[in-house]
C-alpha cells in the first residue's frame, strides 16, 4: 500500500486530471473523453432509398464519435497510449454497437525528445498533417477526410498494426511507420473488388496485403508542437504561435489491381501517394484573444487507372433506385481517387468576450478541389460554418453547411457533374464535449 499513499490526483491549470505514480510526479496516467452529437438535415442524392423507400431529404440525429483515451508515462522512457470508442452511429446503424479499439501503443524513448521507437495499433501515418487528425481540436465540423485515403479500406479508422519511429531534431519533426495493412476481406463494410469484364478501372486487390511504408516530416518555424501522440491539432485557439511546412508519403506494393482490356489478365500495382502542406495558427491580438488558423495541402494519389472511391459520414440512406447517380445513396460523394487534390481551410477566432460569459465564435471555411483521372473536370466540395466556443474545445457547438457535387456518366468514359442537379447540400448542428 506504500505506492498508493505516495500517489496523488492533481488537476492542472488546463483542467486535465492526472494520477501520479511516483513522488516526483514524472510517472503518471490520465484519461480523457469525447462525444460529438449531430443533428442534421440532408438533401439526399438522386435516387436515394431507405430500405427500398424512395427519399429526397431526411432529418436525423447521430453520434459522429464517442471516444475514450487512457495514456500514461509509466517509466522514465516508456509511454503508453490507448483509445477506444465508436464512430458514425446513426439511425441505420446496427443497434447496440460495441466499442472498438482505435489505438494501443507503447513506445520507448531511445534518445528522449529526439528518437522514440514504438509498436501496436497506431495512427502514426504519412502523407500530410491531417492523415492523423486530433478529433477534439478540429477547426471545422468534421475531419479533413480527403487526407485519410485508406480509411476503413486497409486500416481501422486510419490505424494499422505496425512499428514506428518519431522524434524532433531541432525544428524538424518526423514520423516513420512500417505497418501491416488489413486485408480488404475483413472490412466491416464490403470493399468493392475487381468485377469480371471491367477494364481500365482499378480496385483494391484481394491478394494478401504487402507492407505499408509511411512518413511525414515538417519544419517548425515558430513554436514547437507536441508529438506525444500522433494526432495533429486543428486549431490552438490562440494559445500557440505555429508555422509549419511539411511533406510526406505512403506506399504499398500490389495494393490495387485492374485489367487493360475486358478479357485481359489481372495486373497488380502499388498504391503511391505523396503530399505537401503548410499550417499557420497564431494570435492576432493577444489582449482581445483573436486568432487566425490557416491550412493548405496538395496531395498526389495513385491507386491505379481511374480509381475513385465515394463515401459519406453517417450515411442517412442505404440504397439507390434506377434514378441513382455515381455518388450512390444519401450524402455520398467522390472522396479519394487517382489524381490530385487540393485542400484548404481558414478560421478566425473572434474576441474572447464576444458573448460575455457565454464564450465566443469562430467562423471558418473549407474547400476541396479534386482533379481525378476518372472525372472530366475538377470538382469542388465546400463547407462553411461557425463554432460557438463556450469553453474552448471542451464545450463547442458547431453549425456547418456542406455543398457537394453530383457526378454522373458522361458521353465518354469520364464522369461529369450532373446538369439537372449539379449539387446537394447538408446542414449539420454538432455539439462536442471533451474532458
How many domains are there within the chain?
Answer: 1
- Quote the pLDDT of residue 413: 86
Write a three-state SS string for the chain: CHHHHHCEEEECCCCCEEEECCCCCCCEEEEEEEEEEEEEEEECCCCEEECCEECCEEEEEEEEEEEEEEEEECCCCEEEEEEEEEEEECCCCCCCCCCEEEEEEEEEEEECCCEEEEEEEECCCCCCHHHCECCCCCCCCCCCHHHCCCCCCCCECCEEEEEEEEEEECCEEEEEEEEECCCHHHCCCCCCCCCCCCCCCCEECCCCCCCEEEEEEEEECCCCCCCCCCCECCCCCCCCCEEEEEEEEEEEEEEEEECCCCCCCCEEEEEEEEEEEEEEEEEEECCCCEEEEEEEEEEEEECCCCCEEEECCCCCCCEECCCCCCCCCCCCEEEEECEEEEEEEEEEECCCCCCHHHCEEEEEEEEEEEEECCECCCEEEEEEEEEEECECECEEEEEEEEEEECEEECCCCCEEECCCCCEEEEEEEEEEEEC
Question: Residue 297 pLDDT > 60, yes or no?
Answer: yes
Residue range 161-182, pLDDT digits in tens: 999 999 999 999 999 999 999 9
- Quote the pLDDT of residue 2: 37
Q: What average pLDDT score do residues 189-200 get?
A: 95
Show the domain range for 397: 2-434
Residue range 225-267, pLDDT digits in tens: 999 999 999 999 999 999 999 999 999 999 999 999 999 999 9
**Residue 295 near residue 327, CB atoms below 8 Å:** no
Residue range 81-94, pLDDT digits in tens: 999 999 999 999 99
We report the CATH number of the domain holding residue 138 as: 2.40.160.10
Tell me the pLDDT of the chain averaged across its residues: 95
121, β-bridge pairs: 104, 161
Question: Residue 137 pLDDT > 50, yes or no?
Answer: yes
Q: Quick count: other Cβ atoms within 10 Å of Cβ 315?
A: 22
Cell of residue 85, nine digits: 470508442
pLDDT tier, 4 (very low <50, low <70, confident <90, very high otherwise) = very low
**Residue 333 near residue 383, CB atoms below 8 Å:** no
pTM beyond cutoff 0.85: yes
User: CB under 8 Å to 36, separation ≥6 — which residues?
Assistant: 63, 64, 65, 66, 135, 430, 431, 432
Give the separation between CA 320 and CA 432, rounded to whole angstroms: 32
- Quote the pLDDT of residue 46: 97
- Quote the pLDDT of residue 17: 83
- Quote the pLDDT of residue 412: 82
Q: Quick count: other Cβ atoms within 10 Å of Cβ 268?
A: 15
Torsion over CA: 326, 330, 335, 341 (sign): positive
- Quote the pLDDT of residue 15: 60
Give the separation between CA 387 and CA 138, rounded to whole angstroms: 10
Question: Residue 369 pLDDT > 80, yes or no?
Answer: yes
Q: Quick count: other Cβ atoms within 10 Å of Cβ 87?
A: 20
From edge to edge, which strands make up the β-sheet containing 48-50?
A: 53-54, 48-50, 319-320
Torsion over CA: 254, 257, 258, 259 (sign): positive
Give the separation between CA 407 and CA 47, rounded to whole angstroms: 13
On the CB side of 254, how many CA atoms lie within 13 Å of its CA? 9
Q: What average pLDDT score do residues 14-18 get?
A: 71
Cα–Cα distances in Å, from 60 out to 315, 321, 383, 413?
10, 21, 19, 36
Give the separation between CA 346 and CA 281, rounded to whole angstroms: 10
Give the separation between CA 83 and CA 158, rounded to whole angstroms: 13
Give the separation between CA 140 and CA 109, rounded to whole angstroms: 34
User: CB under 8 Å to 13, separation ≥6 — which residues?
Assistant: none
Q: What average pLDDT score do residues 202-207 get?
A: 97
Amino acid at each position: 500500500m506504500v505506492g498508493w499513499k505516495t500517489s496523488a490526483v492533481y488537476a492542472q491549470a488546463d483542467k486535465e486530471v492526472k494520477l501520479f505514480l511516483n513522488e516526483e510526479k514524472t510517472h503518471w496516467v490520465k484519461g480523457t473523453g469525447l462525444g460529438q452529437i449531430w443533428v442534421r438535415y440532408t438533401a439526399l442524392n438522386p435516387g436515394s432509398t431507405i430500405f427500398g423507400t424512395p427519399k429526397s431529404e431526411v432529418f436525423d440525429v447521430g453520434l459522429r464519435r464517442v471516444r475514450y483515451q487512457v495514456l500514461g508515462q509509466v517509466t522514465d522512457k516508456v509511454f503508453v497510449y490507448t483509445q477506444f470508442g465508436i464512430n458514425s452511429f446513426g439511425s441505420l446503424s446496427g443497434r447496440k454497437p460495441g466499442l472498438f479499439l482505435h489505438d494501443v501503443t507503447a513506445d520507448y524513448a531511445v534518445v528522449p525528445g529526439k528518437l522514440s521507437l514504438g509498436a501496436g495499433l497506431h495512427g502514426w501515418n504519412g502523407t500530410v498533417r491531417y492523415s492523423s487528425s486530433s478529433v477534439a481540436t478540429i477547426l471545422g465540423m468534421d475531419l479533413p477526410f480527403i487526407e485519410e485515403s485508406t480509411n476503413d479500406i486497409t486500416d481501422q479508422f486510419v490505424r494499422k498494426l505496425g512499428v514506428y519511429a518519431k522524434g524532433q531534431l531541432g525544428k524538424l519533426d518526423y514520423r516513420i511507420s512500417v505497418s501491416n495493412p488489413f486485408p480488404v476481406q475483413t472490412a466491416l463494410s464490403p470493399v468493392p473488388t475487381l468485377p469480371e469484364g471491367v477494364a481500365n478501372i482499378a480496385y483494391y486487390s484481394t491478394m494478401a496485403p504487402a507492407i505499408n511504408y509511411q512518413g511525414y516530416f515538417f519544419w517548425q518555424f515558430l513554436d514547437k508542437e507536441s508529438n506525444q501522440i500522433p494526432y495533429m491539432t486543428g486549431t490552438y485557439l490562440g494559445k500557440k504561435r505555429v508555422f509549419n511546412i511539411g511533406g510526406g508519403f505512403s506506399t504499398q506494393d500490389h495494393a490495387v489491381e485492374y485489367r487493360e482490356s475486358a478479357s485481359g489478365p489481372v495486373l497488380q500495382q502499388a498504391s503511391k501517394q505523396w503530399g505537401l502542406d503548410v499550417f499557420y495558427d497564431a494570435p492576432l491580438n493577444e489582449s482581445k484573444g483573436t486568432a487566425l488558423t490557416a491550412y493548405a495541402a496538395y496531395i498526389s494519389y495513385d491507386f491505379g487507372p481511374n480509381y475513385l472511391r465515394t463515401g459519406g459520414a453517417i450515411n442517412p440512406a442505404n440504397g439507390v433506385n434506377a434514378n441513382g447517380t455515381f455518388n450512390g445513396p444519401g450524402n455520398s460523394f467522390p472522396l479519394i481517387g487517382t489524381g490530385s487534390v487540393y485542400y484548404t481551410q481558414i478560421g478566425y477566432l473572434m474576441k474572447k468576450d464576444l458573448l460575455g460569459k457565454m464564450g465566443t465564435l469562430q467562423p471558418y471555411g473549407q474547400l476541396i478541389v479534386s482533379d481525378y483521372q476518372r472525372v472530366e473536370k475538377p470538382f469542388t466540395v465546400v463547407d462553411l460554418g461557425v463554432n460557438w466556443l463556450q469553453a474552448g474545445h471542451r464545450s463547442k457547438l458547431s453549425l456547418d453547411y456542406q455543398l457537394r457535387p453530383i457526378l454522373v456518366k458522361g458521353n465518354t468514359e469520364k464522369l461529369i457533374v450532373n446538369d439537372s442537379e449539379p449539387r446537394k447540400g447538408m446542414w449539420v448542428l454538432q455539439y462536442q464535449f471533451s474532458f
